[in-house]
């Protein structure tokens, strides 16, 4: 269904505990979540009919809502079961799953403590986030104008809708320039993340990645760190300044949508798609598709 607008697709969406036709999954234009970004969501992938780390994503959805000051009125077990039912009713095997919770429309204003909390779960087929041929040779990133904010100014531990506004602006600007995505610094001028994925660098056989102290410590990020350590590769979480990118040999992004994606360029800095990056691409593929034999690698 590539190219079909998301409000015109076929199927069903789980909406507040029941299934509704895809086209009927609507909310009022005066919903608080639309006007004041009081919404949290998750991005999840299913491989071979199995939702990867579903329970961890559900846990984070509840935690994100708590950070924004509301409680989702469905238990973690109910949400996890609902995701499975969505996948089955949509007859999907390899898919993207999007749960989202938001404040409704009882009150319109900054304060909306008594608004109903809604929850919806949709799923659809999902191709590679970046074009396959581009991904294999390494994607090109612009350097974003906007920066990840100071934790004192934004609830960065929540996967909250409002935090993605500057990501959309940065990615749009990068795409207008011919790049696939953008690398964002944080408010201190340190390397942070791409617009929807965490970043890793390789130098002298070690992996270096920014400390997630103002952006999400991604579930895929943690998975890949575990895979690297299982290979005996040292992973260093530390402050990384942008000028250090000149000395790194490899670079890759991680995320539910991006999986493990090599990077060939960030602004003036260039990288090779090296053996450690290729090994982790293979390892991650084997992790999410456990029934597929892993390919041998020269690393580890």
Closest CA to 122 of 221, 2, 256, 24: 24
Helices (H), the chain: 32-36, 54-67, 76-89, 132-137, 165-176, 219-230, 275-288
Residue found under tokens 């074009």: 131
Residues 6 or more apart whose Cβ sits within 8 Å of residue 133: none
Decide if 47 contacts 94 (C-beta within 8 A): yes
Cα 136 from Cα 205, distance rounded (Å): 21
Contact criterion met (CB below 8 Å) for 22 and 9: yes
Nearest to 49 by CA among 291, 227, 293, 295: 291
Look up 229 and say whether it is catalytic: no
Q: DSSP per residue over 230-242, as a string?
A: HTT--EEEE---G
Q: Which of 26, 53, 76, 159 is catalytic?
A: 159
Pairing mode of beta strands 95-103, 44-47: antiparallel
The structure tokens 């994925």 sit at 197
Question: Beta-carbon neighbour count of residue 115 at 10 Å?
Answer: 19
Angle between helices 54-67 and 76-89 (to 10 degrees): 130
Active site residues: 159
């Amino acid at each position: 269904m590539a190219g079909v607008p998301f409000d015109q697709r076929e199927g069903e969406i789980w909406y507040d505990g029941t299934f509704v036709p895809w086209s009927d999954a609507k909310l009022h234009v005066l919903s608080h979540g639309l006007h004041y970004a009081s919404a949290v969501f998750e991005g999840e992938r299913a491989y071979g009919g199995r939702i990867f780390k579903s329970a961890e994503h559900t846990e984070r959805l509840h935690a994100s809502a708590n950070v924004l000051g509301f409680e989702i009125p469905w238990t973690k077990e109910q949400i996890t079961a609902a995701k499975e039912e969505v996948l089955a009713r949509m007859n999907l095997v390899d898919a993207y799953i999007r749960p989202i919770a938001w404040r409704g429309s009882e009150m319109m204003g900054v304060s909306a403590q008594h608004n109903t909390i809604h929850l919806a779960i949709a799923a659809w087929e999902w191709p590679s986030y970046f074009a396959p041929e581009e991904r294999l040779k390494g994607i090109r990133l612009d350097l974003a104008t906007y920066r990840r904010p100071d934790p004192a100014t934004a609830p960065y531990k929540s996967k909250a809708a409002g935090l993605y506004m500057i990501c959309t602006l940065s990615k749009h600007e990068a795409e207008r320039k011919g790049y696939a995505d953008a690398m964002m610094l944080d408010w201190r001028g340190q390397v942070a993340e791409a617009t929807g994925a965490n970043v890793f660098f390789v130098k002298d056989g070690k992996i270096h990645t920014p400390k997630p102290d103002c952006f999400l410590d991604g579930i895929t990020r943690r998975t890949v760190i575990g895979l690297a350590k299982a290979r005996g590769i040292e992973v260093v979480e530390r402050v990384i300044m942008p000028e250090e990118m000149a000395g790194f040999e490899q670079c890759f992004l991680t995320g539910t949508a991006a999986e493990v994606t090599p990077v060939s360029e960030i602004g003036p800095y260039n990288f090779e798609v090296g053996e450690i990056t290729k090994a982790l691409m293979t390892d991650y593929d084997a992790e999410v598709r456990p029934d597929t034999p892993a390919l041998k690698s020269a690393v580890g």
